[in-house]
Structure 1
Amino acid sequence: MSRIAELVHRAQESGDWSECIEAIPYARLIGIKLGSEAGEFCLPPKASNIGNPTLPALHGGALGGFMEMSAILHLMMSMEVLKVPKVVDFSIDYLRPGHYKDTYARCEIVRFGRKLVNVGIDCWQDDAENLVARARAQFLIE
């Protein structure tokens, strides 16, 4: 069993996903944390995630990466999968600037097929009704 499979298995049994998140280099790099609700993730302010220092605002790539990684982690947390799902398609709509403060993402499995899973991701900062971005993702699971 691979290292990530062991971590996922342990996390599924214990409910503590922090060790699994730390084992994924990109999740560690941008600083993803678990949110307060199931299927919710947090991206705390981090200087390396700034794209526009004048505002300051988050870099679009960091925001997109946060949303994609949140969906991957959500799938790993909610399914009996011991491998990291592979991205097939990812589409994001940037709705307003992501300012330099806590940013949240909530994921929802839209359709679950035999090999493909569709996930919707909503991203906000102060108010979940005022989205910063919305994304749709499709993942290959095996």
Structure 2
Amino acid sequence: MSDAGKAGLTPYARSLGITVHDEEHGAPVLMFDFGGEVEGRPGHLHGGATSGLLETAAYAILRNELARLGRKHRLKPINITVQFLSAGKQRPTYAKGRITKLGRRNANIAVEAWQDDRDRPIATAIMNIFMTDEDR
């Protein structure tokens, strides 16, 4: 696991119980277990918790790639669009991001969250992030 993958989880992410489960080709795979922190209606994931996992996975892949390139930026979200595809159940949930565009000042990231079967995501997201020099 790279140092960038281990570090950098926000207090919000930690409060949801998000951890770095694995790393695949430099991309952190994040996860959380089902519990009271992420439960919405009885027996199902809360949409906000699912969105938080997707957003955290987007930042994790971007931070890893920026660290690999030796770039230091402050990240500011432009927008995030989440699609809920099916209700999350009482089991571990995983998420992994993929950078679709990395420019000098902005990045676009696609993220998928799944439970039992990676080929059947429960939610997806597209996130656009503005990057400013860390000195600003």
TM normalised by structure 1 equals 0.80
- 1:68, CA displacement in angstroms? 0.5
- Sort the Cα spacing of 1:87 and 1:73 in 2 relative to 1 into closer, same or farther, 3 A: same
The one of the two structures with greater contact order (alpha-carbon pairs below 8 A, sep at least 6) is 2
- Alignment match, 2:13: 27
- Alignment match, 1:123: 113
**Equivalent-residue separation in structure 2 for 1:46 and 1:71 (angstroms):** 23
Q: Secondary structure at the match of 1:35?
A: strand
1:1-142 equivalent positions in 2, closer than 5 A: 15=3, 17-21=5-9, 24-38=10-24, 39=27, 40-53=29-42, 56-80=43-67, 81-142=71-132
Structure 1 unaligned spans of 5+: 1-10
- 1:74, CA displacement in angstroms? 1.6
Per-residue CA shift, 1:27-84, capped at 9, x if unaligned?
111111112233211122221210011xx01100110011001111221122134455
Q: Secondary structure at the match of 2:64?
A: helix
More strand by share: 2
Mean Cα displacement is larger for which, 118-127 or 41-50? 41-50
Alignment coverage as a number of residue pairs = 126
User: Match for 2:3: what amino acid?
Assistant: G
Structure 2 unaligned spans of 5+: none
TM normalised by structure 2 equals 0.84
Mean Cα displacement is larger for which, 31-40 or 105-114? 31-40
Contact 2:4 2:64 in 1 (8 A): no
More helix by share: 1
